[in-house]
Structures are given as structure tokens and as C-alpha cells.
Structure 1
Amino acid sequence: MAEQQTLLLAHSIVKSFGPTNVLKGFDLSITAGEVHAFLGGNGAGKSTFIKIISGLHERDSGTLEFAGRELGGSSVSPIDTGEIAVVNQELALLPHLTVAENIAMPRLNRAWRKWSAREARTLAVEALSLIDPDFAHQSVERLVGDLSLHERQLVEIARSLRSGAKLLLLDEPTANLTASETGRLFSVIRRLISETNLAVLFVSHRMREIRQIADVCTIIRDGKTAVDRASLDSITDQEIIEFMGQTAEPDQRAQAQAEEAVNVSGERNSPSDANPAAQSFHVTLDDTELEIHAGAIIGLAGAPTGPLTLIGALTGQARKSRWKVRQKGVQLKHPSPSAAARTGVGYISGDRSNKGILATLPIIDNLMAARRVVERRGIAKRDEIEQGQSLLDALKIRAGSLWDLPSTLSGGTQQKILIARWLTLQPHLLVLEEPTRGVDIRTKREIYALVRKLAAQGTAVVWWSTEYVELVELCDSVLAFDLSGRPTVVLSHADISETNLAEATGMAA
């Protein structure tokens, strides 16, 4: 078989942001017709390198070639020519346009072409049908701003798959997909590679998916190449983790870190001061009943429709819901998430970029956002700086300053910021949507420890995740939903397994 063409060649790439050196002489080569896993911990430089390829950042030094030609300077970007397509970890869709317009615009928006709504609709249906035919026909005329994060992820991926690109950059593309949708995506990628010799750079922290789809891997650590083009057949999961510098901390150390972070404020109640009766929630829908006790971690499993409906009822996002939520026998109807927060219900959205991180405000404002909502104030208190710095220190968050923007932090570190908002408030109930989306192994362990510590102090936790292994490890009980969003069963303790969850949800583990 003839040797495949080297499509992308990066050599000694250097990139700094002020005093922060992100890439320190990084090398990478991608060959046509392969799926190349790009691995590294949060903050290692993966997203920065992808943005350099995409033309969003200029490299400081080093050479970058695509299809034999040098990139940068006055040369036309392959993004502009359609030769490279990218799905970023934070999605880049236009919320005021329809699904059809978002998908078709890169292909139909040319000076020499007349825009055709009919052609746009056809292109969009064809693209979305590659992954989810039912969603394709239901969504093409909807505004992107009205879609859930899960649905927007499908639109972003579909747009890239139908771009006709030679190189597809996928930065955590499956973070919001169900197992069946991930399987269909991988099938489409394999077919496109077979038909067009497409190359794919695939970023993921899910080792099972990496082995399902990738041929080779390159590992970046601290801005440098730690492993260059290793065959996935020749390297073990443990070796990958060690090369990433992600050897998981012992549980005792992660728990000690959680202890320090959760006890940053001196205003917290001790576990003996908590009132378990006041913190228990009883939720019902038709014949389904679920008791959320103080200190319990309750998992939600299944396609997004079901879990998000319950989450909406718990957090005040859904003003009308078939779910009934009671506390101490009294039915709760929160008119908004802020009203829910003031009654002790915390919420961390899975949509980090649009409903989580306040991108235009500094880190200190992001850390104190929940406290300010609960206390109904917009003016900073004098003790916030000290408390904010204590949170950063306790959570081992490396930030230049509390006044830096959160965009200076990696995605995984931003996720820790969202959780840190609630650490000093000790809510009665904390609801989390996919809280480990796009984070590395070490950060996952840190988040697990934080949530366990909050639960140990009396907070009831509801945790929705599409990673069954996560639910098995963390949860006391799991409420499963089928593909249509109907609750099917509550699994407890020894019954919580990947096999049982797959059977109860109709989705592969």
C-alpha cells in the first residue's frame, strides 16, 4: 500500500500569552486517511494549538505547513478555503439564525451564489441525518438559540462533516453526545475516511472512545511533545496517563484538597448543624417516585430529554413541569434559577460557555457570582478578594490574577471555577449537568472529591452524566430514562452497573 501523504506538519511551535508560555516548541504531524488522537491534560496547550491551525491565534515562532504549503502571514487560511473544518470545545454557532442557515452558510454564502433557503434546508437535513435523522427533520427551521447544548453539538458536528474538508479538527466532540450518537458519529468518520481520505485530529479525555476511533496518538505535556505519533496498539492506557502527567492522585490527597476548599469560609455549618429533614426533596412523575435525601448523590442517566426535564423542575428553569417537587411536604415551584438559589438550590449548567462562565467578567466575579445572587447584591464585599484567593489556592487553580478573564484558564479549570461558586454556600441541593465535560483525569478526581465532601456535609447532589462509569463510581442511586425521556427505573447500590444502566436507558454503555 502506498505511503499516505503528510497533510499537516507542525515543527517547534511556540506561543505565549503575556508572561504565560503555552506552547514551547511543540511538534505534530498528521497523515491523510488517519484519525489522530491529540491527548494531554487541561492546560497542556491542545486548544491553543487547534486555534493556531484554525487561524484564530498567530504562532510566535515555528513552522506550520498544510498540504505542502506554509501557513500564516499573507497566505490564505485553509479554514477560509474549506480545506480545514473545526468543531471547537466551545461551540461557534449563530444563535439568531436557524439550524439550516448555520449549517449551509459556509457552503452557500459565496459572492457568486444566490442564497437559496430550499437548498440550505436540503443541505442541513442531509448533514444532520448522518448522525440523527429524526432530529434532522424536526430541527432545521428552529433557531439555534432555542436548542439545548446537546442539540447544538449535533448541529456543529453536522456542519463540519458536510464541509468537504481535507482535515477535520474535533475538540471534545462527544462531550455532549449519547453513546448511540457517538457510535453513529464514528461510523460517519470511518466512511468519510474511506471515501475521501479525510484526516481527523481528535481530542478527547475518554479513553474508551480514543481506542474505538483513533489510529495513532500524540501527547502534549506542558506545551511540549511528550509522545509523537505512537500507535494505539503499542501504548497502554496507563502509559498514556503517565505521559500526560495525569497519574491520578491518591483519593486521600484529593479528599484533603476538597476538605480545604469546602472549608474556605468560616461561616459554614458543621455536619452536626445541618437539618436533614429540611434538605430532603421528594420528586414524583406519574408512578415514578424519587427521594433525594440530604448527603445523597443521585445520578440521572439517559438521553438528554428526560434528565433535563427533571433538572428544569428542580432548578426553576421550567415554569411548567409534569414533575412535582416537594420539600417537607410543601410543593416547590421556583419561578427562576435565581429564586431557586435563594432557597438553597445550586445549579451548574453543562453549557459552560453560554450559561456558566461569565466570559467578560474577571475570575473573582465568576467565583462570587452565586453568593451575590443569593445575597441580592451586585457590589463586591471587602472580604471577597481574600476568599477568592483562598479558593484558588485550595483548588490548586493556577491563575495570574483574580482580575484575569476566565478565557486565560483551560476548560477544565473553568469547570472547577463553576463548582467553587457553591463551596462556601452549602446549598441544600446541588444540581450538576455533565460537570466533568472536557476535563482530564486528575481534574475529574478533584471534582469527584469536592462533590463527595459537599455531600458528606449534608448537601444533596443530583448529577447527570452520559458516562455510565462515572455514575457507577459516584452515585448512591440512579434514575434512568428511556430514549423518549420517560423514567424507567431507580437503581440503587449494587444494582448500579454499566450493563444495567445500558439496559434501562436503551443506550450502549
Structure 2
Amino acid sequence: MNSQPYLLSARSIVKRFGPTRVLNGVDLSLARGEVHAFLGGNGAGKSTLIKIIAGQHDRDGGVLEFGGEALDGSAAARVDSGEIAVVNQELALLPHLSVAENIALPRLRRAGQRYSERAAETIAIEALSLIDPRFARESVGRMVGDLTLHERQLVEIARSLGSGAKLLLLDEPTANLTASETGRLFAVIRRLVTDTGLAVLFVSHRMREIRQIADVCTVIRDGKTAIDRVALNAITDADIVECMGQSIALEEGAAARGRGGHPSKARPDITAADGDTVTVRCVYIELAIRPGAIVGLAGAPTGPMALIEALTGMSETSSWKVERRGAPMAYASSAAAARAGVGFVSGDRANKGILGTLPIIDNLMAARRIVERRACVSHSELEEGARLIDALDIRAASLWDLPSTLSGGTQQKLLIARWLALKPQLLVLEEPTRGVDIRTKHEIYALIRKMAAQGTAVIWWSTEYVELVELCDTVLAFDLNGHPTRVLSDAQVTETQLADATGMAA
């Protein structure tokens, strides 16, 4: 780990959004040749500070220096020049351009080169091959708008890794990656840090990953620095979580696991009379999903996404056959699926979940309006919306505020809240805890268990095996080619068994 002077120094940074003070004097120092974990709960101000460093937000106070020089008004220029590279929590790719164009154009523009399709493909393949060589070969000519969230995450990271930057800002970069992809990403980061002196600011809520990759950590809480540059080998996970103000949630989860390992399995038994069993089958496997069950999907994205699309009306052709009461469940659209009692929460909250230009009340009522074919805000909706944000501890000044005033984790609760009052027969969740902190994760777990106890069958895809183990009664595992391999139930649902069934490390 290098000594001072620091490559990046942020002192007493203040940022306001209207009357709300998001950052209230944050300090952060980052040295060359280190991976620095930047930690805090949802809404603590992590993403805001990253956007200030990257020139996407102006600060209202404090001092910001890069390489010993003030960044006043020049942060965006540093990004444009390639000295600072950033992967935001909500990805910033151009959907109407190809993968090759998204990766290569910023680099060619800086070098003043004329665009060449062959050169762009070479640059893109080299960058993507650092993480996933097969995806690199198959994807360079595809439009980014046609990619899955998982695939777009790979493109965004590859663009930053191949930029030659001195400072790399990574805001939840592994949220949509498999364990094997995360391992390859960490190997590349370590090599660049060692060989080039790259400084990396790494944001994640996954403590296991933080321990794997980071050297030191800074923790912020309520817009202030709680822990400043502490070596990770000198602090425990419990200490970090306590400084984040989330020790209660951690203790509750640990206590629940200690009582029997699976609090979700304490739900009352729900018979088929309370709802309809849904059967999914393909050439390889068949699975009956009973009312009240929480069924996990594990493995590389190809397999789980194919089943999710078949269940929610997002695919016209599928190898999966879905039946209820012996009749096929096939929907022309997601709206038709919703009206038939199938809810869906996308992991891509920025592009396929949150309605960014509409207020919180419209976001809360979006699913109900689709199901009931209504468009206008009613008095009853305002009452229901007020009850929901109170019950879910969604801290919003007004139902008429935009979702952008909420943290990423709170936005995720907003998406799940859409379905609470509707009580769908089947709720399909795609990485529902992506980019959320420990407390919010446990709040989401509680919401899902409550819905399951009321008879909703839940499908939960997650790349975090520990999450599937804690929450799910049954897990359908897929191999690296997207083929279902095994159905694991009860005591079989362990991280070791999941790794074996999917061919992916836990």
C-alpha cells in the first residue's frame, strides 16, 4: 500500500439537493496502488460522492484534489481524458450503439482517431476478454439495447478496465455478476493495481467480496465519515456494520439462522385449495410450484432468465412449458401476465422498473393501474400509498416527490410494494436485492415471506448463494450453458450443493 501524498483527497465535502443535505462533511483519501472499500447503508451518500468525483454533480462545499491539483470544475474533464473511469450503479451505456462502439468510441475520441469498425471490435474484444472471453467473441456486434442487465454490466466494466485510467470508481460493479465472473474481475483489478499503480474505489454491500478485494475501508453514515482509512485486517464485519448503523438487522438475521437456519420455512402450510399450483417443465426437468413456496433460481443468467421470460410474458418462444390447472400459461405481454395474477420485479430498476419522470405515487400504483386498466390518481390511491410508505419505512417527504429523491435500496422496496396489496398468485423477482444494504435486504426478505405466507408463490433469482440458502424452500439450478440440472430442496439447499449443481463457485 502506498503512502501519501494521496492520488485523491476529498475533505469536508458537502452536497445538498434542495433542503436535503446528503453529504455533511465527508472525508475520503485514496492512495495509488490500493483497492479502497467505500461503505455505508443505502442513502448514506456513497453514490453522490462518486458522482462528485466524476464531475456528474457539483459539490456545495469542501475541497477535492486529484494528483495534488484541485478538481474545481475539471472533474468531468479528467473523466473525458481517461484519467478517471467510473462504473455507476445505474449503467451509462448508449442502447442504440453496438457493444464495440460503446467500448471503443470514448478511447478513439481521446486519441483523435478516425472511427474504424475493425479497430473498435479489436478494442472491445480485448477489454471484454479480461472478464468473459466467450461473451467478448459473441457480443461485439450486438446492440447494447438488446443485452440483458447482466451483459450490460460486463460491457460497462470492460469499458472502464480498458481505459488506462489512474483512478477507477466502481459503484456496485458485481451486483449482476456471477461468482466466477466476479473472481475474474477481481484478478484483473489486482493485476492492474500491482502493475500500474491503479487506485480503485470499490462500493459493495457484500462483505465477502470486500474482504476478497480491498485493502482499506472508509465508512460513511448519514452523510458523514464514520471510519476513515482503516485496514480491513484490523476491523471485523460486525464493527463495520455497526458503524453503518445496521447492527440490529445483522443480529436479527443471525438469530433467525441460529434458531433453525431458515426463517422462511416457519410459514403456515398452504394447500392447493388456497391457490393453484404452477408447473414448469422443459426437456430436462419438471417442477411444481405450490402456493406459498419460495423457489430460488441459481446459476449463470441464461437459464434463469429464459424461465423468467416464459413466466412473465416477455418471450414469444421458449423451451419452457408453463401450466396452471393443466392449461398452458402463455401471455402476449407482461401486462397480460399481470392481469392473470403474475407479478414481476426487474433487477434493472433504472430501465425496466422505476418510472423516473413520474412521482412516487404513480410508481407505487403502476401495477394496480395495469391490472385494473386505470390511469389517474384517485383519493383511495393516495390513502393506500400513504399506508404503504409508512408500513415499509419508505422515507419520502411527499408522495409527489420523484423516485430520484430516494436511495437505490428504497427504490427497490418501492418496486416490491407495487404488488403487496394486489396479492398476485405468482411473483417473479430478478435480483431483487441488487445494490441494497444489509438492513434493506432483511426488510425485503420480510416482505417476501409475508406475501408467501398469504399464498403467493415466489420465484427468486439471485447470484448470491447465501441469499438462496436463507430464503428458499426449493432451488432450481442451471449449468453454465443455461440447462437446468437439479432441483434442490430443504436440507439440500446449501452453498456447497448449489456450487456443485451450477458449476459455479459459491
Is residue 475 of structure 2 the alignment partner of residue 478 of structure 1? yes
Cα deviation 1:270-291 (Å, max 9, x = unaligned) = x999964643101111140101
Q: Work out the CA distance in 2 between the residues paired with 1:5 and 1:499.
A: 44
Distance change (3 Å), C-alpha of 1:121 and 1:2: closer
- Equivalents in 2 of 1:503, 1:389: separation in Å? 46
Q: Which residue of 2 aligns with 1:33?
A: 33
Matches within 5 A, 1:79-478: 79-110=79-110, 112-249=112-249, 251=252, 276=273, 278-478=275-475
Point out the more displaced range, 477-486 or 396-405. 396-405
Q: What corresponds to 1:6 in structure 2? A: 6
Matched residues in 2 for 1:2 and 1:109: separation? 32
C-alpha distance in structure 1 between counterparts of 2:90 and 2:273, whole Å? 38
How far is the alpha carbon of 1:230 from its aligned partner? 0.5
1:49-84 deviation per Cα after TM superposition (whole angstroms, max 9, x unaligned): 001001111100100000010012367731122110
Q: Quick one: percent identity of the two aligned structures?
A: 70
What do the CA deviations read for 1:106-127 (whole angstroms, capped 9, x no partner)? 1112484211111111000000
Q: In 1, are the aligned partners of 2:275 and 2:455 still within 8 Å (CA)?
A: no
Q: Shift in Å at residue 381 of structure 1? A: 2.0
Aligned to 2:23: 23
Question: How many residues are treated as equivalent by the alignment?
Answer: 493
Deviation at 1:390, TM superposition (A): 1.0
User: Greater CA deviation, 71-80 or 224-233?
Assistant: 71-80
**Would you say the 8 A contact 1:248–1:441 is kept in 2?**
no
Gap change, CA 1:196 and 1:5, over 3 Å in 2: farther
Q: 1:162 to 1:5 in 2, by over 3 A?
A: farther
Mark the CA change 1:276 to 1:34 in structure 2 (over 3 Å): closer, same or farther. Answer: farther
Segments of structure 2 that go 5 or more residues without pairing to the other structure are: 257-267
CA distance 1:342–1:274, shift in 2 (3 Å): farther
Q: TM-score, normalised to structure 2's length? A: 0.95
Cα distance in 1 for partners of 2:269, 2:496 equals 38
Question: Could you tell me how far apart the structure 2 residues matched to 1:177 and 1:332 are?
Answer: 30
Counterpart code for 2:423 = Q
Structure 1 residues 378-387 or 477-486, which shifts more? Answer: 378-387
- Displacement of 1:4 after TM fit? 5.4
Partner of 1:258: none
Match for residue 259 of structure 2? Answer: none
Give the aligned residue type for 1:411: G
Q: Which amino acid aligns with 1:358?
A: L
Q: CA deviation at 1:387?
A: 0.9
Say whether the 8 Å CA contact 1:278–1:328 is kept in structure 2: no
1:250-306 deviation digits (Å, cap 9, x = unpaired): 659x99xxxxxxxxxxxxxxx999964643101111140101000000000000000
AA matched with 2:495: E
User: What are the Cα deviations for residues 351-387 of structure 1, in whole angstroms up to 9, with x where unaligned?
Assistant: 1111000011111100000000000111222211111
Q: Secondary structure at the match of 2:386?
A: helix
Structure 2: distance between partners of 1:84 and 1:317 = 38
Q: CA deviation at 1:400?
A: 1.5
Q: Structure 1 residues 128, 112: CA separation in 2 closer, same or farther (over 3 Å shift)?
A: closer
Task: Identify unmatched segments of 5+ residues in structure 1.
Answer: 256-270
Q: Work out the CA distance in 1 between the residues paired with 2:136 and 2:206.
A: 27
